[in-house]
Amino acid sequence: MSRLIGLILVVVIIIAILMFFGFIELSPEGEQAIDDTQENVGQAIENTGEAIQNDGN
């Protein structure tokens, strides 16, 4: 599981670097999709953390 999260983070960082230096340009719809995805992933990670904490109780 940690390898998968690490791989996802590496891919996101590489894409962010490419966007920063102008190798990748996104349309407004693409930017909105990325924002939505980040929000969904953040919520999923938060829910997973809460589930793990509650499982121990």
Q: Give residue-wise pLDDT tens across range 7-35.
A: 888 998 898 888 888 887 878 888 888 88
| Contact indicator for 24, 18 with CB cutoff of 8 Å | yes
How far apart, in whole angstroms, are the C-alpha atoms of residue 48 and residue 33?
22
* Cα 34 to the center of its chain, rounded Å: 9
Task: Give the per-residue pLDDT at 1.
Answer: 66
CB-based contacts of 19: which residues, under 8 Å, 6+ apart? 25, 26
Tell me the mean pLDDT in the region 37-52: 88
Q: Pick from 21, 47, 14, 16: which is nearest to 34 by CA? A: 16
Tell me the mean pLDDT in the region 29-57: 86
Enter the tokens of residue 9.
């983070």
